[in-house]
Structure 1
Amino acid sequence: MSQAHEEEVLARIGKGLVYTESEAAFQAPQRRTEQIFEYNHTPPGETEKLRSLLVAIFGSVGERTVLLPPFHAGFGSKVHIGDDFFGNVNLTFVDDVDIRIGNGVMIAPSVTLTTTGHPVHPSRRVDYGRFSEPIVIEDKVWIGSNVVVLPGVRIGYGSVIGAGSVVSRHIPPMSVAVGTPCRVLRPITDDDLTTRTV
């Protein structure tokens, strides 16, 4: 594939337009499949090795990162994580384009962050036709168990996403949001400094 063709495909991907597996195959060297496998099979006491693998896997990774294995990623290299991140088991990154996670983010078990969806009509899904849009999770967000975050979503500073939610639209800062589809339930206020639950 020529460089001009690769640039044309990347431009389409950047606009959220449909592209195919064959068209995007030139990105395969960015996949960190072997390193992800190694991370998921490294004993928990080997902290230096685990840290070096995270640095090798992700596009960028902050300090004091905790990511409990197993985790899964399409690429890994398109994930960017800030400081003081906690990711629980079975976190899945479908990172065909960037996933950007801020500082102080907590993610519960079995969460999926997917930048990619597929066209509704089956003829447009030939050769795994798909579209991709970046996900942004701002600082201090807490995402509950079994949440799915869909392409193009931004979750604002300090927000909480309730367990089992499907997040298909932007969530404003300092909000409690729940449901399928995920909707803002209420703002987070100083009253929450003295309560345990939502």
Structure 2
Amino acid sequence: MLINIMENISPTEQEKMLSGALYFANDAELISTRKRASKLTRLYNNTTEEQLEKRQEILLELFAKIGDNVQITPPFYCDYGCYIKLGSNVYMNYNCIILDCNFVEIGDNVLLAPNVQIYTAYHPIEPELRLTGKELAAPIKIGHNVWIGGGTIICPGIEIGDNTTIGAGSVVVNNIPERVVAAGNPCRVIRTL
């Protein structure tokens, strides 16, 4: 009997979002979580250079996990915050954006230059399905010791390997292996380290 009851329970929109299934972003729970992140990022972006302790408190509340010595230069924006995990010694320069409609994991010793955009969110390419208002999201993982150049866009579902450099202005649409320099639109490996 219990099995039949469990089978009849539909997944929440959050569960659908995090599993990579189609979901409605206008769900009340998701809206509430986005409002929380919006409030926290607004508070963070309004801090001054002298308020380092306050900045740390906000980041601890915003993110799922945060390592030691994380520095984010405001302004910074994200959708939810609670799906972002940051390693130690992470630095994000001005105007970094993370659309974390799925999990974003950033390793240790990662440098993000200004205007880096990390997008887990995307829409169906079929217009009829897109017009239903349903969305999709795929996780992103950035390894350790990675440098991402200014203006880079990292698309949904991407993994970037350890010890890799991504050149400025790149659009990363495919996974990038470890120990390489990659750049361009679309981003491709230029040389192996």
What TM-score, normalized to structure 1?
0.87
Residue in structure 2 matched with residue 37 of structure 1 by the alignment = 42
Q: How many residues align?
A: 184
Q: How does 1:1-198 map to 2 (within 5 A)?
A: 4-5=9-10, 7=11, 9-22=13-26, 24-31=27-34, 32-126=37-131, 128-188=133-193
Give the counterpart letter for 1:17 in structure 2. A
Q: Secondary structure at the match of 1:130?
A: strand
% identical equivalent positions:
32
CA RMSD of aligned residues (A): 1.7
Structure 2 residues not aligned, in runs of 5+: 1-7
CA distance in 1, matches of 2:120, 2:59: 20
Of 128-137 and 26-35, more deviation after overlay is shown by 26-35
CA distance in 1, matches of 2:163, 2:101: 26
Structure 1 residues not aligned, in runs of 5+: 189-198
CA apart distance, 1:124:
1.6
CA distance in 1, matches of 2:95, 2:139: 21
Contact 2:25–2:31 (CA under 8 A) maintained in structure 1: no
What TM-score, normalized to structure 2?
0.89
Contact 1:21–1:127 (CA under 8 A) maintained in structure 2: no
Contact 1:61–1:83 (CA under 8 A) maintained in structure 2: yes
CA distance in 2, matches of 1:110, 1:140: 19
Q: Secondary structure at the match of 1:113?
A: strand
Give the counterpart letter for 2:71 in structure 1. V
Q: Secondary structure at the match of 1:184?
A: strand
Contact 1:159–1:173 (CA under 8 A) maintained in structure 2: yes
